[in-house]
Structure 1
Amino acid sequence: MSERIGWRYTVLVPAVLAVLSMIGPFSIDTPFPAFPEMGRDLDVDTGALQLIVTVYLGSFALMSVFHGPLSDAVGRRPVMLGGIAVYVLASLGCVVAASLPLLLVCRALQGLSAGGATIVSRTVIRDLFDGPQAQKLMSRVAIIFGLAPAVGPILGGALLQLGPWQLIFGFQAAMGVLLILSVLFLLPETHPRERRVPLRVGAVLGGLVEVGRVGAFHRLAWATALIFGAQFLYIGGAAIFVVDVLGEGELDFWKLFVPMIGSMMLGSWLCGRAAGRISARRLVSWGCTTSFAGGVVGVLVAALGAGDELPWAVLGVSLIALGNGITYPTLQLMLLDRFPTRRGAVVSLATFVALVLNAVTAVAVVPVIGGSALGFAVAALVGVGAGQLCWSWHVAVEDRDCAVSRDVGEREPVELL
Structure 2
Amino acid sequence: MTSAAARRGISFALLLPLLLAAQPVATDSYLPALPAITRDLGPASASLTVFVLAFGFGQLPCGPLSDRFGRRPVLLVGLASYALAALGCALSSGIPMLVACRALQGFSMAAILVCARAAVRDLYPAHEGPHVMARGLTGLGVVGLLAPLMGAWTVQSAGWRWVLGGMAAYAFLLWLLCWRGFDETRADSAGPSAPKGSLREVFASASFRAWASLAAATYGGIFCFLLLSPMVYISYLGFSPAWYGWIPAGGSLVYIFSTTLCRRLLRRVGAVRAVQMGSLLSLAGPLVQALGCWLLPRTAWPLLLGHAIYCIGHGIHQPCGQAGAVGDLPHLAGRAVSWSGFAMMAVAFVVGQVAAGFVDPELSHGAWPMVVPMALAGAALVLIAYVWLPRLPLSHPRKESP
Identify the residue that residue 321 of structure 1 maps to in structure 2.
Answer: 311
Which moved further from structure 2: 311-320 or 80-89? 311-320
Identify the residue that residue 233 of structure 2 maps to in structure 1.
Answer: 242
Identify the residue that residue 295 of structure 2 maps to in structure 1.
Answer: 304
SS of the residue corresponding to residue 191 of structure 1 reads coil
Identify the residue that residue 334 of structure 2 maps to in structure 1.
Answer: 344
Q: Is the 8 A contact 2:130 2:324 kept in 1?
A: no
TM-score normalised by length of structure 2: 0.89
SS of the residue corresponding to residue 237 of structure 1 reads helix
Identify the residue that residue 394 of structure 1 maps to in structure 2.
Answer: 388
**Cα deviation code 1:242-266 (max 9, x no counterpart):** 2123320111123321332222221
2:221 aligned to which of 227, 230, 240: 230
Cα 1:49–1:219 change in 2 (3 A) is same
Distance across 2 between alignment mates of 1:70 and 1:79: 7
* Structure 1 residue ranges without an equivalent (≥5): 403-417
Q: Is the 8 A contact 1:60 1:113 kept in 2?
A: yes
Identify the residue that residue 158 of structure 1 maps to in structure 2.
Answer: 153
Identify the residue that residue 127 of structure 1 maps to in structure 2.
Answer: 122
Aligned pair 1:146/2:145, yes or no?
no
Identify the residue that residue 211 of structure 2 maps to in structure 1.
Answer: 220
Distance across 1 between alignment mates of 2:6 and 2:294: 53
Instruction: Write the letter of the residue equivalent to 1:310.
Output: A
Cα 1:256–1:385 change in 2 (3 A) is same
Q: Is the 8 A contact 1:69 1:207 kept in 2?
A: no
Cα 1:92–1:345 change in 2 (3 A) is same
Identify the residue that residue 360 of structure 1 maps to in structure 2.
Answer: 350
* Structure 2 residue ranges without an equivalent (≥5): 395-402
Which moved further from structure 2: 110-119 or 185-194? 185-194
Identify the residue that residue 48 of structure 2 maps to in structure 1.
Answer: 53
SS of the residue corresponding to residue 97 of structure 1 reads coil
SS of the residue corresponding to residue 330 of structure 2 reads coil
Shift of residue 149 of structure 1? 4.1
**Cα deviation code 1:59-87 (max 9, x no counterpart):** 11111112122111111111110111111
Aligned pair 1:181/2:167, yes or no?
no
Distance across 1 between alignment mates of 2:8 and 2:24: 26
Q: Is the 8 A contact 1:232 1:358 kept in 2?
A: yes
Distance across 2 between alignment mates of 1:87 and 1:392: 39
Cα 1:195–1:266 change in 2 (3 A) is farther
Q: Is the 8 A contact 2:17 2:137 kept in 1?
A: yes
Instruction: Write the letter of the residue equivalent to 2:208.
Output: F
Identify the residue that residue 24 of structure 2 maps to in structure 1.
Answer: 25
1:103 aligned to which of 95, 98, 101: 98
Instruction: Write the letter of the residue equivalent to 1:27.
Output: A
Identify the residue that residue 34 of structure 2 maps to in structure 1.
Answer: 35
Distance across 2 between alignment mates of 1:134 and 1:226: 20
Q: Is the 8 A contact 1:259 1:314 kept in 2?
A: no
**Structure 2 counterparts to residues 209-288 of structure 1, below 5 A:** 209-288=200-279
Shift of residue 352 of structure 1? 0.4
Which moved further from structure 2: 20-29 or 341-350? 20-29
Instruction: Write the letter of the residue equivalent to 2:279.
Output: C
Aligned pair 1:380/2:374, yes or no?
yes
Q: Is the 8 A contact 1:294 1:315 kept in 2?
A: yes
Cα 1:37–1:280 change in 2 (3 A) is closer
2:164 aligned to which of 154, 161, 169: 169
SS of the residue corresponding to residue 158 of structure 2 reads coil
Structure index of larger Rg: 1
Identify the residue that residue 415 of structure 1 maps to in structure 2.
Answer: none
**Overall identity of the aligned pairs, in %:** 27
Shift of residue 314 of structure 1? 1.1
2:186 aligned to which of 191, 197, 217: 191
Shift of residue 209 of structure 1? 3.3
Distance across 1 between alignment mates of 2:329 and 2:70: 17
SS of the residue corresponding to residue 120 of structure 1 reads helix
**Cα deviation code 1:203-244 (max 9, x no counterpart):** 79x733331243442332122211221122111223212212
Shift of residue 341 of structure 1? 0.8
Instruction: Write the letter of the residue equivalent to 1:378.
Output: V
Instruction: Write the letter of the residue equivalent to 1:225.
Output: A
**Cα deviation code 1:254-291 (max 9, x no counterpart):** 33213322222211101122343322211121111221
Instruction: Write the letter of the residue equivalent to 1:254.
Output: G
Distance across 2 between alignment mates of 1:280 and 1:64: 26
Instruction: Write the letter of the residue equivalent to 2:32.
Output: P
Shift of residue 332 of structure 1? 2.0
Aligned pair 1:64/2:65, yes or no?
no
Cα 1:365–1:127 change in 2 (3 A) is same
SS of the residue corresponding to residue 253 of structure 1 reads helix
**Cα deviation code 1:73-119 (max 9, x no counterpart):** 11111111011111111112112211111111111111111111122
Instruction: Write the letter of the residue equivalent to 2:347.
Output: L
Aligned pair 1:87/2:82, yes or no?
yes
Shift of residue 196 of structure 1? 8.3
Q: Is the 8 A contact 2:79 2:171 kept in 1?
A: yes
Distance across 2 between alignment mates of 1:40 and 1:194: 49
TM-score normalised by length of structure 1: 0.86
Instruction: Write the letter of the residue equivalent to 1:17.
Output: L
Cα 1:207–1:247 change in 2 (3 A) is farther
Identify the residue that residue 405 of structure 1 maps to in structure 2.
Answer: none
